[in-house]
Structure 1
Amino acid sequence: MQKGDSEMENRTLGGNRIAETTERVLGQLESAVLGSNLNLRLLWANLLTGGHVLLEGVPGLGKTLMVRSLARTVDASFSRIQFTPDLMPSDVTGTKVYDPQSGRFSFKKGPVFTHLLLADEINRTPPKTQAALLEAMEEGQVSIDGESMPLPSPFFVVATQNPLEYEGTYPLPEAQLDRFSVKLIIDYPAEEEEAALLREHRLSAGRESNLKKVVGIEELLALREEVDRITVEESVLRYITAIVRGTRQDPRITLGGSPRAGLSLLALSRALAAMDGRHFVTPDDVITAVKPVLRHRIILASEAELEGMKTDDVIEEIVRSIPVPR
């Protein structure tokens, strides 16, 4: 077997392994969380890429349940922080504590020292505390009194926020929103899904507690390496570039996607391809990923907002205007 054939076979096997693991993970998640199949798929895809996730939706839609269920399927440490107006940066990162017996300071780790972190209602805490978490997301470490301490690998953050209540909140600025690879919108379930939820509500707690570990840390890190090896043709790269640049040239948009947005779109497209058992990215993968990747990185012009335009609709129109590679 020639070297090129061997590499192709390895990529194919890697894609199949990711697809098989994805089927097991999503099978577990969908048994506990009803009516959010696409968002569950995108949540898992971002864990495969190492990108952090922002979940937005009104209370009662199961945002916390989604993340708790994912944590139960991965054999890794999990922490949850309830963000409040009085939360301090040290409550997130940790602090040095004086030990009178030894006469020395020891570091007490905060909840950020975990593999999977749920940051609940991140927009309810002041900017200084938000910045402490977002620095950890960007750098993979925290700094205490000038000393840098690495966080566990992988380090995956899912933050939630309520889009309707603004009183007493601190909206994330654009530069910090850009740290999240995707923003997933959690909406009301369809009628049949909601009826099923009511019908089976007594079983929901049991379904969550019965979730099983599907993937371990070492396997997850290996799957991430496989995702990085998914092939992307030049025409698809150009397609991604055209979409991101199109957001900067559209008169309805005052702030378009950054180069970081293009990298996130590329990474998520690779993960979606691998989850389908393919070793190459298709334009359909890009189209599936484009709204979650771009919606929180774009600011509409005031005129467009006054006309009732929505960010997702503008993104969709930009994508439709760009020729799909054959």
Structure 2
Amino acid sequence: MNEPVRSTPPSAPTGASSDVVRVQQLAAARDEIVSRLRQRIIGQDEVVELLLIALFARGHGLFVGVPGLAKTLLITTLADALSLHSNRIQFTPDLMPSDVTGTDVLEEDSTTGKRHFRFIPGPVFTNILLADEVNRAPPKTQAALLQSMAEGQVTASGNTYALEQPYLVFATQNPIEQEGTYPLPEAQLDRFLFQIDVRYPSPHEEVEIVKRTTAPMLTTITPVLSSKDIIGFQDLVPRVPVADHVVQHAVTLVRASRPEDSKASELVRKNVAFGAGPRASQGLIIGAKARAILHGRYAAEIEDVRALVEPVLKHRLVMNFRAEAEGVTAEAVIEDIKQSIEP
């Protein structure tokens, strides 16, 4: 694999000032990464932004969009730009858990004649895993991903295997075909930091997509960062300072999604069965920290929190029957929450 092209010198001062320097390095590297993605991906600026935030916040992403919007290409291009390995699993109704995590095979030593089991790692052993149409697999297979997402390790046949870091899962769902699917349980949905909606391109972007994809592909992606660099930046994110009032604002926004809370609006009380839990508050803050340093700022601000409210809350809200009957969407509820809770 090609050596990554560093946009800034790898060395940095030690002590408190080194984190500030690292933030500047990441902001410069972000521009380089986006430039690499633009060689293959047209448009989808918000999707790219959330993808990078999830990456450096060590969060998993749930992509929701119709087929043909370059979700797979985006993930593989990101892996190429970051010197990471990627695997793709096409989830189907007959997919077994061992097809995801790996399996033991019986082998015989040709010299001694002794038999033993050898573990064959599954596609989950990678840096970036694309779980395509994850809601087509039965719950038992979906659950095979849960340990890897939560703990960064896999248990098979009584043995636990650590996954190489960085490790991220990006799953996709098709919003228009629900026949023969198994909705993800709330416990697994809560493990995704963001729900990332992939929308249709603009007319101009679609023309450019057609022109580019029907011509010879000549672009080779040069890596920007190494896996060691990425882990270093991931370790930097939790150290980013955040003021108490910013944390309080994030918690207030999340609590306002719960119909029994005193800050809940009338729209929330009437249409939400269950609001988001504390993991959503954690997601808002860690996501805000990652967003801040990707933009070259060494402090998370309220604007960072508010920019991430929809992708953090959307898949965590459980709407009631009234909302379904009256066509009240999670997006409408989240917008109402943002308007009712001022900065």
**TM-score of the superposed pair, with normalisation by structure 1:** 0.93
Q: Deviation of residue 203 (structure 1)?
A: 4.2
Equivalence for 1:125: 137
Equivalence for 1:248: 258
**SS state at 2:196 partner:** strand
CA distance in 2: counterparts of 1:31 and 1:280, whole angstroms: 31
**TM-score of the superposed pair, with normalisation by structure 2:** 0.89
Equivalence for 1:41: 49
Equivalence for 2:96: 88
Q: Deviation of residue 26 (structure 1)?
A: 0.9
Equivalence for 1:3: none
CA distance in 1: counterparts of 2:209 and 2:99, whole angstroms: 36
1:88-134 Cα offsets, whole Å, 9 max, x none, are 11111111111123411111111111111111111111111110012
**Runs (5+) with no aligned partner, structure 1:** 1-5
Q: Deviation of residue 86 (structure 1)?
A: 1.1
Equivalence for 2:152: 140
Q: Deviation of residue 9 (structure 1)?
A: 2.9
Out of 221, 224, 228, which is 1:211 matched to? 221
CA distance in 2: counterparts of 1:194 and 1:108, whole angstroms: 42
Q: Deviation of residue 307 (structure 1)?
A: 2.2
Q: Deviation of residue 66 (structure 1)?
A: 1.0
CA distance in 2: counterparts of 1:317 and 1:18, whole angstroms: 34
Q: Deviation of residue 11 (structure 1)?
A: 3.1
Which residue identity does 1:114 align to in structure 2?
A: T
Which residue identity does 1:232 align to in structure 2?
A: V
Equivalence for 2:203: 191
Equivalence for 1:232: 242
1:232-258 Cα offsets, whole Å, 9 max, x none, are 101100100000000013302111111
RMSD: 1.5
* Moved beyond 4 Å, runs of 4+: none
Q: Deviation of residue 77 (structure 1)?
A: 1.8
1:246-289 Cα offsets, whole Å, 9 max, x none, are 00133021111110111111111111100110011111111111
CA distance in 2: counterparts of 1:124 and 1:206, whole angstroms: 35
**SS state at 1:243 partner:** helix
Assess if the C-alpha contact under 8 Å between 1:30 and 1:37 holds in 2. Answer: no
Structure 2 residue 164 is matched with structure 1 residue 156: no
Out of 58, 72, 80, which is 2:80 matched to? 72
Equivalence for 1:278: 297
Which structure features the higher share of helix residues? 1
Q: Deviation of residue 200 (structure 1)?
A: 2.6
**SS state at 2:257 partner:** helix
Structure 2 residue 180 is matched with structure 1 residue 168: yes
Assess if the C-alpha contact under 8 Å between 1:116 and 1:155 holds in 2. Answer: yes
Assess if the C-alpha contact under 8 Å between 1:32 and 1:204 holds in 2. Answer: no
Q: Deviation of residue 173 (structure 1)?
A: 1.2
Equivalence for 1:53: 61
CA distance in 2: counterparts of 1:224 and 1:18, whole angstroms: 10
**Count of residues in correspondence between the two structures:** 317
Which residue identity does 1:280 align to in structure 2?
A: A
Which residue identity does 2:300 align to in structure 1?
A: V
* Percent identity over paired residues: 40
Q: Deviation of residue 7 (structure 1)?
A: 5.8
Which residue identity does 1:162 align to in structure 2?
A: N
Task: Name the CA shift for 1:96/1:52 in 2 (closer, same or farther; >3 Å).
Answer: same
Q: Deviation of residue 309 (structure 1)?
A: 1.7
Equivalence for 1:297: 316
Assess if the C-alpha contact under 8 Å between 1:49 and 1:224 holds in 2. Answer: yes
Equivalence for 2:214: 202
Task: Name the CA shift for 1:45/1:87 in 2 (closer, same or farther; >3 Å).
Answer: same
Task: Name the CA shift for 1:204/1:219 in 2 (closer, same or farther; >3 Å).
Answer: farther
Q: Deviation of residue 35 (structure 1)?
A: 1.4
Which residue identity does 1:193 align to in structure 2?
A: E
Equivalence for 1:264: 283
**SS state at 2:276 partner:** coil
**SS state at 1:104 partner:** strand
Assess if the C-alpha contact under 8 Å between 1:57 and 1:187 holds in 2. Answer: yes
Structure 2 residue 122 is matched with structure 1 residue 107: no
1:6-65 Cα offsets, whole Å, 9 max, x none, are 865333212211101111111111221111111111101111011011101111111111
Q: Deviation of residue 202 (structure 1)?
A: 2.8
Moved more, 82-91 or 193-202: 193-202
Q: Deviation of residue 204 (structure 1)?
A: 7.3
Moved more, 314-323 or 195-204: 195-204
Out of 25, 34, 47, which is 1:17 matched to? 25
Assess if the C-alpha contact under 8 Å between 1:123 and 1:161 holds in 2. Answer: yes
Q: Deviation of residue 211 (structure 1)?
A: 1.4
Assess if the C-alpha contact under 8 Å between 1:253 and 1:301 holds in 2. Answer: yes
Equivalence for 2:4: none
